[in-house]
Amino acid sequence: MNLWSSDWPAPAKINLFLHVLGRRADGYHLLQTVFRFLDFGDTLRFTPRAEGVIHLAKSLPGVPQELDLTVRAARLLQQAAGVRQGVEIELTKRLPLGGGLGGGSSDAATVLLALNTLWDIHLPRVELQRLGLALGADVPIFIHGRAAFAEGVGERFTDVILPSAWYLVLVPPVAVPTAAIFESPLLRRDTAALSPATWRPGEGGNDLEAAASDLYPEVARHLEWLNGFGSARMSGSGACVFTEFATETAAHAAQAQLPEDMKGFVARGLDRHPLFALT
């Protein structure tokens, strides 16, 4: 099998809960959350370039190549490992920008995981996580590769076992900038800490929902509609919202009732990242 001709998945994540416990002196927020991957996401392909150039085949609208997380991830690994080879990255984008599904972070993690193999570097997973954290707080979970209870700024993990589930994920027509949510006066920063050992599925909420719903009424409208099928949650800082179903049939039945002005998708929850076996 020629790995250079393979498709490399970059799955979505959802936050089953997200609490803000406080704020560090450097401005970073102390969080607790549970991450779960979905069998829906972006796809990347890689083509070797001998001259050492890192190039994205097609730039995302409004995102200069030098700021794109996939390009930054490739350059970071190239520099860290002293690699002279370059690469062209082709990204097929399915996850919305500003959706809270970790799209950019997942793409960056897949670049690190894939090029670690394709460039024959083979850095250990913990080292890739360290590099990923420099790109963004959500990157390490995709490299860690297991459903996990996360703490700190989101980089300390305790693996969790989750029941089989399907999710209906709604995509409001807005892109939510994370910084705006964390700067909102509606954001509470004093939620009591939970214990990873005693946390159970269904426990906790999303402390960012109030701020996102206030700033972006479409988030609130989508949450309200989805609450008709169960306890809806916002993922990350938004805008996407989801609810859980025990079966694929039930999730699709709810999706079939979507109003014409709402969009969404059904996905199965994953306990491991599709590229978990790489490192």
Number of domains in the chain: 2
- Last-in-domain residue among 160, 183, 209: 160
Per-residue pLDDT tens over the stretch 58-111: 988 888 899 999 999 999 999 999 999 999 999 999 999 999 999 999 999 999
- Last-in-domain residue among 160, 190, 222: 160
Q: Among 32, 36, 100, 115, which Cα is nearest to 273's?
A: 36
Per-residue pLDDT tens over the stretch 198-223: 999 999 999 999 999 999 999 999 99
- Last-in-domain residue among 137, 160, 183: 160
User: Which is the catalytic residue, given 42, 68, 107, 138?
Assistant: 138
For residue 279, being part of any structural domain is answered with: no
CB 243 within 8 A of CB 167: yes
User: Which is the catalytic residue, given 7, 13, 214, 271?
Assistant: 13
Q: Average pLDDT in the 3-8 region?
A: 93
For residue 116, being part of any structural domain is answered with: yes
Same domain, 17 and 128: yes
Per-residue pLDDT tens over the stretch 166-175: 999 999 999 9
Same domain, 188 and 173: yes
Same domain, 78 and 197: no
Same domain, 116 and 51: yes
For residue 213, being part of any structural domain is answered with: yes
Same domain, 248 and 132: no
Residue 241, domain extent: 166-270
SS3 letters across 50-80: CCCCEEECCCCCCCCHHHCHHHHHHHHHHHH
- Residue 155, pLDDT score: 84
For residue 276, being part of any structural domain is answered with: no
> What CATH number does the domain containing 142 carry?
3.30.230.10
Same domain, 146 and 177: no
SS3 letters across 110-146: HHHHHHHHHCCCCCCHHHHHHHHHCCCCCHHHHHHCE
Q: For residue 243, name the pLDDT band (cuts at 50, 70, 90).
A: very high
For residue 263, being part of any structural domain is answered with: yes
Answer yes or no: is pLDDT of 1 > 70.
no
CB 93 within 8 A of CB 60: yes
- Residue 93, pLDDT score: 96
Q: Clarify whether 138 is annotated catalytic.
A: yes
Can you say whether residue 238 is alpha, beta or left, with left for phi > 0 and alpha for psi between -120 and 50 degrees?
left
For residue 275, being part of any structural domain is answered with: no
Same domain, 218 and 150: no
Q: How far does CA 198 lie from the centroid of its chain? A: 24
Same domain, 209 and 264: yes
Same domain, 51 and 139: yes
Same domain, 105 and 76: yes
Same domain, 32 and 124: yes
Q: Clarify whether 120 is annotated catalytic.
A: no
DSSP the chain: --GGGS-EEEEEEEEEEEEEEEE-TTSPEEEEEEEEEEEEEEEEEEEEETT--EEESSPPTT--GGG-HHHHHHHHHHHHHT---EEEEEEE--SPTTSSS-HHHHHHHHHHHHHHHHTT----HHHHHHHHHTT-TTHHHHHH-B-EEEEETTTEEEE------EEEEE--S----HHHHHT-TT----PPPPPTTT--TT---BTTHHHHHHH-HHHHHHHHHHGGGS--EE-TTSS-EEEEESSHHHHHHHHTT--TT--EEEEEEESB-TTGGG-
Same domain, 10 and 114: yes
For residue 95, being part of any structural domain is answered with: yes
Alpha-carbon distance of 170 to 159, in angstroms, equals 27
> What CATH number does the domain containing 188 carry?
3.30.70.890
64 against 274, higher pLDDT: 274
- Residue 151, pLDDT score: 95
125 to each of 11, 108, 272, how far by Cα in Å?
18, 14, 14
Answer yes or no: is pLDDT of 27 > 90.
no
Per-residue pLDDT tens over the stretch 106-138: 999 999 999 999 999 999 999 999 999 999 999
